[in-house]
Chains A and B, each alone.
Chain A
Amino acid sequence: MYHKEKSIQIKNSASALYNNLCALRIAPRRLTYFTVVHANVVNMVSASWDGLNYSHRQLQSKEPNVATSTSLIMQAAFCSLPSRDLLVVTSQKGIQVYESDGSIMVYWHALDIPETQTGKVASKLDFPCRFLSLGISTGAILVFDVPSKGSNITLSDVLEGHKESITDMASECCGGEVCIADLVSADDGGNLCVWKSGEEFKLLNHIPGFDISCSSVKLWKGTVVAGYGTGQIRLYEAVTGILHAEVNAHARWIYSLDIAPYSGLLLSAAEDSLVRVWHLTMTPESQSVEIAHLHNECVTDTQICGAKFCDADGYAFAVTGYDLSEIIRYTQS
């Protein structure tokens, strides 16, 4: 179903962090940007679609007012807001927002929770339509209001829904349709919170976990797709919390999930060196979602830490692994 393409070499190897690969498709320029985190550096590659041109850039997490060592980066992710694309880099000390090509820093926000108090700082974020939300290790979610132009990003809300460290967040931009739920957050205890964004965010539902970390979460057509440390994938109806399906997908901790929204293809990747492709289908009659397995890829001797579709149809996907200095790509045959 898929075959391997030529890999993209990156300057450093990928670190063992959840969801450690991000892709942004710039259709007008026929380019795709990829970001991979290596310790305290973000490796950015801009790859042309014809496969002929690659350019590299590295960003280091800088603390504007601290003279000591640069701190480790937790995540580098692209935010596609309706009017602009941004690159958000989160580290132990705070977040930095750049233009999507990494050229200019637009905004930074320092977390003023001292590390010793919380024991660790993990930042994950996602982006319902005008807002940038950042989950931190206390379980709080900071919501930033992003204007369509300029750097006047402001902290507008702090959501308290979790007691444990936030591991991942996902959003769905429904465009013209009315969405009931458009943001989901997951934590280290496997608990999921479903939100409705707006001037004031509203907590719609809380789906309890089983003390197993939920390392990756996605939202698609009102369905929460969650990957856990036990290697399981679960599909929940976001607003009601009804469990549609449960898959014993992997033999080790899941590190990354991704969905191609137009086709309903789902990608799951884990420490067991396997990437799996699934198909989600909505069945309106039974008001549920079904999942079917399509394809496996094995990246030999590699604990995979990032997997992303390169386009909204799922025609191609890319994979990163711990200690691997390349982005491996696969395309549909």
Chain B
Amino acid sequence: MSVRTLPLVFINLGGEMLYILDQRLQALNTSEDNSEKGVWSEHDRKRVLNDIVGAMFSKDFMDELLKPQQLYSHRTLKTVLTRLAHASIMRLNQASMDKLYELMVMAFKYQVFLCPRPKDLLLITYNHIDTIREFVRHTPVVVNQVDETHRKIIEIYSSLAEGDFQLLRQTLLIFFQDMHIRVSLFLKNKVQNPNGRFALSPSGPVPHGIDVPGLIRMFDRKGREVRRGEFPTGGSYTSPIRQGCFALHGNRVITLGMNMYTENHPEETHTSKAPSKDDAPNLLAKEELNLLARLMGSMKAEDMPETETGFRINLFTSDQEEEDAGASGGAEQCLFGVINIQAMQDEQAATQLARIAGQFAEGGEMPEELSSSKGDDLLAMMDEL
């Protein structure tokens, strides 16, 4: 299958992660259940986003991704994305990272599934890059990194044929196969059905370069058209809209890959809608955004050195789990133990990438007041993988 999937996977999944984090961190400012320790200022939020984007679009990291290689497993991907998410002062524990990953993956699956033409995967990626650029627009150094990466992507992917993009898309679809986690935002917007599948309607504009179905043309042996006929299509298709722009800046036209979360009022995501009642208790039904909102609002600080100003976020869904996690060091150790066993094959690649990503959490662009001891135990554990 395709060996060109990784850069697009990271940019799109990373982009979704940033959208969610941005929206949640903003929501915390206006939410009512702010604890005194848990106030995220505008400055904090911008810094978190800058740090993560800086780590993700670093030259070393991107060069590693751009080498032709097979797609990683979910476990390895999650490990590296966790490392990226921890490139700043914010810490998410394993449970919330799992839920964040599910949200990210379902959003990307939706975009790949509905992508009009295989080549439009690039436009979806560029939508993510455009919004990321907006997030970090006040930090020229990071904007440059984003632009540099964008140029490399354009250079490498512009020469791929449509068939190569379809193979890339098929590789991604195999990667997302059988994932039907319900996302409250998608259910609300009716892009996802209660059974977890995305809505695909035989109507609307056809993709650019495709003709509206319905016409049969017959030719004689000299190539002249001798007859035309029409047939009922069973759908209601219309002419294509104009093609999106594939350059560094421009109107992408398609909306897949844009930030869906900005349209949401934070209050709406806070209300827990009752999930639709199924005959059998559906373990896949989750109100992820609501959950994440509640969980990120309650943060526990551990024993940290005085210079430590980072926030460690302890996220659990029930009292029982909170108790279990009380011995936090132990629980996390054992979680990482599990990951260790299952990350065998991609270990080398993951270690390499994690090492590169880790460079940004340990020093580099971090402001002086944050000591590198914050989250050290976490990073050290990751290094053991």
Contact = CB atoms under 8 A, between A and B. Distances in A.
A15 B173 contact: yes
A230 B166 CA distance: 12
Contacts of B200: 272-273, 300-303
B163 A167 contact: yes
Contact of A274 (B2, B173, B235): B235
B197 A249 contact: no
Contacts of A300: 200
B221 A242 contact: yes
A153 interface: no
B161 A301 contact: no
Contact of A246 (B180, B217, B233): B217
B166 A229 contact: yes
Interface in A206-231: 211-213, 215, 229-231
A250 B173 CA distance: 21
Given A242-B221, A243-B223, A120 B213 contact: no
A204 to B, nearest CB: 18
A55 interface: no
Nearest to A302: B200
Contacts of B166: 213, 215, 229, 253
Given A119-B68, A251-B210, A188 B161 contact: yes
B216 interface: yes
Given A69-B345, A250-B213, A301 B198 contact: yes
Interface in B205-233: 206-207, 209-221, 223, 229, 231-233
Contact of B221 (A12, A68, A288): A288
A229 B345 contact: no
A326 interface: no
A119 B234 CA distance: 39
Contacts of B214: 248
A248 B199 contact: no
Interface residues of A, number: 59
Contacts of B202: 251, 272-274, 298
A53 interface: no
Given A72-B174, A115-B3, A249 B163 contact: no
B247 to A, nearest CB: 21
Nearest to B215: A248
Classify the secondary structure of B's interface with A. loop
A287 B221 contact: yes
Interface in B126-177: 161-164, 166-167, 169-170, 173-174, 177
B1 A211 contact: no
B160 to A, nearest CB: 10
Nearest to B222: A242
Contacts of A119: 3-4, 68
B351 interface: no
Given A119-B3, A323-B178, A213 B162 contact: yes
Interface stretch (A177-185, A289-297, A309-317): A289-297
A16 interface: yes
B336 interface: no
Contacts of A85: none
A246 B228 CA distance: 10
Contacts of A287: 221
A301 B193 contact: yes
- Chain A CB count within 10 A is highest, among B117, B161, B210, B221, for B210
A217 B50 CA distance: 50
Contacts of B167: 120, 122
B186 to A, nearest CB: 13
Contacts of A165: 163
Interface in A231-253: 231-232, 242-253
A65 interface: no
Interface string A119-150: 11010000000000000000000000000000
Given A68-B345, A293-B231, A252 B221 contact: no
A298 B234 contact: yes
A119 B167 CA distance: 11
Given A116-B68, A188-B161, A252 B210 contact: yes
A251 B203 CA distance: 9
B40 to A, nearest CB: 38
Contacts of B218: 244-245, 288, 290-291
B261 interface: no
A252 B235 contact: no
Question: Considering residues A189, A231, A291, A302, which has the most beta carbons from chain B within 10 angstroms of its beta carbon?
Answer: A231
Nearest to B116: A252
A17 B212 contact: no
A255 B26 CA distance: 44
B210 A288 contact: no
B195 to A, nearest CB: 9
B230 to A, nearest CB: 9
Given A244-B218, A288-B221, A230 B209 contact: yes
A285 B313 CA distance: 79
Contact of A39 (B2, B4, B163, B177): B177
Contact of A272 (B163, B221, B235): B235
A92 interface: yes
A120 B209 CA distance: 26
Shortest 4 CB-CB contacts between residues of A and residues of B: A188-B163, A293-B231, A16-B173, A296-B234
Interface of A: 12-13, 15-17, 38-39, 68-69, 72, 92, 115-116, 119-120, 122, 164-165, 167, 188-189, 211-213, 215, 229-232, 242-253, 272-274, 286-288, 290-293, 296, 298, 300-303, 322-323
Interface of B: 1-4, 68, 113, 116-118, 161-164, 166-167, 169-170, 173-174, 177-178, 180, 193, 197-200, 202, 206-207, 209-221, 223, 229, 231-235, 237, 345
10 contacts: A72-B1, A116-B68, A119-B4, A120-B2, A248-B211, A248-B216, A274-B234, A286-B220, A293-B231, A300-B200
Given A92-B1, A252-B210, A274-B235, 5 more contacts: A15-B170, A15-B173, A245-B217, A293-B216, A301-B193
